[in-house]
Structure 1
Amino acid sequence: MLRRSRCRWVFVCILLTVLLRLAPLKSDSDPTTQLIGDVDNTQSFGVNPISLILVQKLGYQSACNSCSHRDLGFTGRVAGKWYSVWADTLWAAPGVTDPELDTPGFHGMVRSSVSLLTDDPLRVVDLNLNDDWPVPHQQPFIPFNEDWGESSRTAFGGASLCEVDAGSATAAVFILVNAFEPDLVGAGVAKVQVINGTPTVTQRFGPKGYWWDATTTPHYGDKISYRDERSDYIYIWGGPPNRYTGWLEGGYIYLVRVKAADVFDLCKYEYWWGHQQGWKPEVLTTFTTETAALWGTGQGQIVWNDYYDCYILVHLGIAGVTLYMRTAKSLEGPWTPDLEIYSTTPIDGGLVYAGVAHPYLDPSGKSLVVSFTNNNRIEVVKVWFK
């Protein structure tokens, strides 16, 4: 009788733990409790159709006309050409042409840069170079603006270039402004025009160069941005407002979209409130497992794959060492479970993150080249599908 009572008590304790994990709690001081709801739209669903024949490491990507250490490199097409957008770009020492032969120390840097992609996944052409001799280095792709309180310390996160109009070679880039003191500032969009072969930021929108206040709204564009070739829309994913900082709550990702023709008009954006509520013109203000679109992917990239007839999300989780792919028929999800593609070894114990897809190298979709950041090197692998 005593043993049966203890079993019942253990069962009750377990049940209460589960209910507390699922129920929306009321505390305003703990942001985690605001995220847990009765519905979790970030859970995987269905079967991942991807099957692998071979995954091969190709090497490390570098520029043929400059020399820097860099991260991210999200790809985007504008007027028939593909470009990579980088975040921190650390110049190599004067005269150094191989990043692996760089000398110790700091030799200068910019907070963002842009390169032209080539048919060789290991070679890019750096654009917007300075006059350094004998090896030029990249200048900033997104310049800081002192009138907005920005300086050379201001960083600009973001993702892919999203084509707006091919005829005028115009695109948008979504940016996350990081002032470091005290924190992330806000997210917004900039107009990009290809001038003399170089994507150039010609205008940033918002009274201080951004739209969405990072303290109250998601960091739209800091995780994924994608010009959907199957619709008129650009889709933009971002992490939660600044107050959600933990491993769990900070891993949720929220979604907004806009027609490409209206990308520079904030009033035309639609916000994803989850499968139960759908798209709304009202800015998302409720951050729960119901309104989140993804969890735990970190930065990544989405492409449409003709071979599997679905969207593929490439990512490495939250600063992990394993490359994953998941699929969906709709950009709103639900997404299938992840398939492990490839695991790497962090260089010198550094961070591994930001999965990047290069779909232009095989339009059939039967293979996909993927790159990612490994301690400021861009590691490249090729995946053949069964």
Structure 2
Amino acid sequence: MSLGHLPLKVKAFERLGTLTDENGNRYTRDIGCSSVLGGVPFWAFGDTFPLNRNGQMIGLLTSTCALGYVQNPVKSRYWNCDREGKPPQFIPFTNEELKFNRDHQHGGQKRFYLWSFSKIAETSPGEGYIFFHKGRTETQQMSDNVGYGIQIANVKISADRSQLICTRIMNEPFFKDRVDWGSFDTVVVNDHVYLYGGQGDHIYCARVLKSRITDKSAYEFWNKDRWTKDENQKSDLFWKLQSGSVFWSQYYRCFIMVGCTMWADNKIIMRSAPRPEGPWTNDMLLYQLYKPQSGINYCVNAHPWAFPESNGGQLLVSWTDQHTGVVELGKVTWEGYEGPSNNQQYEDRNYPYPRPPQPYFPNQFSQYPGQYHQQYQAYPNQYEQYAPPGQAPPGWSSPTPPRYPHPSNYNNGNGGGYNDDQQGYPPQVPYWSKPR
């Protein structure tokens, strides 16, 4: 099997079109994050608007899930749809939430929502946990929303391996009034679940043993050079990212983050690191997307389960087009990949801690809008020896990423797309994650 050589470099990018549902019904939907449970891929979406045969909207769901196909990743399939093609709500509402939504369904503004932007953390074969936002809309401005923190649900694959069963395990917030752990993404590495969560402009990293994921006292927090039980000592990894996926790359033998910033610039960016907690390289441009007819492209995610014959030499990425309200797909071919050399399947559960193929430059964060470094800068004698798991690499430290001025009404954008009426600053996120 061929291996890539850092820095990350794209050989080709091919647009594959829209992710469609094989039942033939039309849906506008966003997020488009995917997870693998029991070896089966599943797609998760946020606000989902089913359309009937006449193109009329027949409902609104805030969380839906569809079966994916390794051999045909441009297709998905909802299960248990009604006669008009409306799928069931994936993360279930409580009776109180359902009643509130029914009572306000004709008002057009107030509703409870359950949004998940991260992968399901598989803690045992075919079973895992999903972290999600619970909130309530009040107006058409995201800044007016009422947040209830991050909650957690148990997810299991069905006996016939065709659908997922989601059960909320508590109605009170799991995390509230601090970092929204698990809201950005999760990645399972050996016995630990690593959780990336946002607070303000910054993304932080925590970890917990898979066996204790529902025990808040078991969480540890990364503070630049070690893991600590004191959350107040946490340090940030990323700055002003709207969405992204963290995953182990079998091709590059490192962790990769693929996502997009809050700058509404229609760029897909990427970073790499030898460990889930870093040190992470500067932003690099993976691909410059088109500008939609209105709005932007957002909710960028990576799906390393696709194209298994490439052994990681190719990567499926997705984004939501705010104008059309659909999830679009593209295929990345990494530099150096010349095609499958054998029938070995891509093994995304193998997470060795590698010695980085080349050193990283630790003291530069290309987090200002418009800066996308195309290659890393070498830092002599860094990583002469790689530290054991759980310890900091020798000599590494990182600065606090710089701040960038922005309007006082700016919000962190976890709810979806952007208006484009505030040029030069991260614009405000609208109430609807779909175009009006």
Task: Give TM-score scaled by structure 2 length.
Answer: 0.66
RMSD: 2.1
Measured in 1, the distance between the counterparts of 2:16 and 2:8 equals 21
Contact 1:63-1:125 within 8 A present in 2 as well: yes
> Per the alignment, in what secondary structure is the counterpart of residue 46 of structure 2?
strand
CA deviation after TM superposition for structure 1 residue 342, in Å: 1.5
Matches within 5 A, 1:131-280: 131-133=82-84, 136-147=85-96, 151-152=100-101, 153-158=111-116, 159-166=118-125, 169-181=126-138, 182-196=145-159, 197-205=162-170, 208-213=171-176, 216-228=177-189, 231-240=190-199, 250-272=200-222, 274-276=223-225, 278-280=226-228
Contact 2:254-2:274 within 8 A present in 1 as well: yes
Measured in 2, the distance between the counterparts of 1:177 and 1:340 equals 32
From the two aligned structures, give the one with the greater strand fraction: 1
Match of 2:375 in 1: none
Cα pair distance change 1:285/1:147, threshold 3 Å: farther
Contact 1:256-1:270 within 8 A present in 2 as well: yes
Measured in 2, the distance between the counterparts of 1:61 and 1:148 equals 30
Matches within 5 A, 1:281-296: 281-282=229-230, 284-285=231-232, 291-296=235-240
CA deviation after TM superposition for structure 1 residue 147, in Å: 4.5
Give the letter aligned to residue 297 of structure 2. Answer: V
Match of 1:114 in 2: 65
1:310-352 residue CA offsets vs partner (Å, 9 max, x unmatched) = 0110101114301111100011111112221212224331231
Contact 2:202-2:236 within 8 A present in 1 as well: yes
Cα pair distance change 1:204/1:179, threshold 3 Å: farther
Cα pair distance change 1:122/1:148, threshold 3 Å: closer
1:25-80 residue CA offsets vs partner (Å, 9 max, x unmatched) = xxxxxxxxxxxxxxxxxxxxxx9611221111111111111421111111111111
Count of aligned pairs: 306
Structure 1 or 2, whichever has the larger Rg, is 1
> Per the alignment, in what secondary structure is the counterpart of residue 110 of structure 1?
coil
Measured in 1, the distance between the counterparts of 2:97 and 2:209 equals 28
From the two aligned structures, give the one with the greater helix fraction: 1
Measured in 1, the distance between the counterparts of 2:13 and 2:333 equals 6
Cα pair distance change 1:122/1:262, threshold 3 Å: same
> Per the alignment, in what secondary structure is the counterpart of residue 298 of structure 1?
strand
Any unmatched runs of 5+ in structure 1?
Answer: 1-46, 97-101, 241-249
Contact 2:192-2:210 within 8 A present in 1 as well: yes
Counterpart check, 1:377 vs 2:326: yes
Q: 1:360 aligns with which of 305, 318, 324?
A: 305
Cα pair distance change 1:209/1:150, threshold 3 Å: farther
> Per the alignment, in what secondary structure is the counterpart of residue 19 of structure 2?
strand
Any unmatched runs of 5+ in structure 2?
Answer: 102-110, 139-144, 336-436
CA deviation after TM superposition for structure 1 residue 187, in Å: 0.6
